[in-house]
Amino acid sequence: MAGPSGEAHLTLMNTHTLPPRDEMLTAFLNRDGAYEGVFVTGVRTTGIFCRTTCSARKPKPENVEFFPSTRDALLAGYRPCLRCRPMVRPGEVPSWLEGVMSAVEGDPGRRWRDADLTALGADPTRVRRWFQAHHGMTFHAYTRALRLGAALGRIQEGDTVSRAAFDSGYESLSGFSEALRKLAGAPPTRLDGAPLLQVTRIPTPLGPVIAAADAERLYLLEFADRRMLPTQLRKLGKLLGCVYVPGTNEVLRALHEELDEYFAGRRAGFTVPLASPGTPFQETVWDALRAIPPGETRSYLEMARIIGRPTAVRAVARANGQNRLAIVIPCHRVVAADGSLSGYGGGVWRKKKLLEIEEGGAGY
């Protein structure tokens, strides 16, 4: 099957910052051992992920993506490579665990239980603690991730929910439904024919952001710790009738690159295609926000006048706060009438930093 696409989980994504893609690609193609532990590589055409030093034939560059940890690759739907065994790094796995790892690799769709570990001569508590310490997840979470990730990957490629569930080791659709509900916030029946928005977590100097996009446009960009984020996700999901799944696509990859350039002071505006559905009034306000030049600010009163509604200052403020696309639709450029930095969903301290970044890079 074709490999899945994704490099993040909505809540579990490791916030470790990866090296530039070109650097990682060079390291992977050259089997550079110096990058062991820095990233793992997912191969879309095979659905597996590998260590940097994997001896298998290298895929085309456009068919690979990179993850900061094995956990992230698993949750994006990739399977560990049986040749380089990325879950079993040299010198890392003790001899008492080797039998367990070999057994799981031989039967990844199996529902492993403590009794199975005991039968293999391993103490379940010891196994759980080792996985938690080395991979940030328990053994059972690891095997669930293997099965759930594989099923999600197949669904995203067009397979039916029932076939993906049963072929990935789920004994019933209800079991798969519960696992998917926890992950994507929706039962799997909604995935059949429903729009899919892939969700990724992107690290920035001001903290990680959550982004959601389909193959064509970006729908959501919020700081991960914003209290309104769950509400924004629910409202957008209801508005679009969509389902969120962990993953990435060309829109999200382009966004990540443009955010890096923006925070480095090398980019003034964003070219990522946006979708910001709302009421006619909200969309008018959001369009006006995008017209504010970097390095400049407007007051709420000025914004009301710009859109031809000079008495709608409070409504403008509400629409400003309801913006789902932080930074790229620059609601941070709106300030109080006296020029002070009024409330901002991501925190006033972030608003201050964003304005400083734009003032410093005004020449671009």
Q: pLDDT tens-digit profile of 139-149?
A: 877 777 666 65
Burial code (b: 16+ CB inside 10 Å, e: under 16) for 231-243 equals: ebbeebbeebebb
How far apart CA 36 and CA 20 sit, in angstroms, is: 15
Going from the C-alpha of 162 to that of each of 83, 178, 189, 328, the distances in angstroms are 30, 14, 9, 39
Mean pLDDT value of segment 86-103: 75
pLDDT at site 307: 94
The residue ranges of every structural domain in the chain are: 21-183, 196-263, 280-360
Choose from 123-127, 169-173, 286-290 the range with maximum mean pLDDT. Answer: 286-290
Band (1; pLDDT cuts 50, 70, 90):
very low
pLDDT at site 9: 32
Residues 195 and 215 sit within 8 Å (Cβ to Cβ): no
How far apart CA 8 and CA 213 sit, in angstroms, is: 13
pLDDT at site 84: 86
Tell me the catalytic residues: 50, 331
pLDDT at site 15: 37
Choose from 21-30, 137-146, 175-184, 225-234 the range with maximum mean pLDDT. Answer: 21-30
Instruction: Tell me the percentage of the chain whose pLDDT exceeds 90.
Output: 26
What CATH architecture is 280-360? Orthogonal Bundle (1.10)
Structure tokens of 252? 């999200």
Band (104; pLDDT cuts 50, 70, 90):
confident
Residues 158 and 194 sit within 8 Å (Cβ to Cβ): no
- pLDDT for residue 219 is more than 90: yes
pLDDT at site 245: 67
pLDDT at site 91: 47
Helices 313-321 and 280-290, axial angle in degrees (round to 10)? 80
- pLDDT for residue 176 is more than 70: no
Question: What's the topology of domain 196-263?
Answer: Double Stranded RNA Binding Domain (3.30.160)
3-state secondary structure labels for all residues of 109-121: CCCCCHHHHHHCC
pLDDT in tens, 31-76: 887 777 788 999 887 888 998 889 888 888 888 888 888 877 876 6
More confident residue, 201 or 15: 201
Task: For the chain, give the mean pLDDT.
Answer: 78
Helices and strands (H and E) in the chain: how many:
14, 10
- pLDDT for residue 26 is more than 70: yes
Write the burial class of residue 315 (CB in 10 Å: 0-12 exposed, 13-18 middle, 19+ buried).
Answer: middle
State which CATH number among 3.40.10.10, 3.30.1280.10, 1.25.40.420, 1.10.8.60 fits the domain covering 21-183: 3.40.10.10
Range scoring the smallest mean pLDDT among 123-127, 258-262, 285-289: 123-127
pLDDT at site 363: 43
pLDDT in tens, 313-327: 999 999 998 999 999
pLDDT at site 220: 93
pLDDT at site 179: 56
Band (153; pLDDT cuts 50, 70, 90):
low
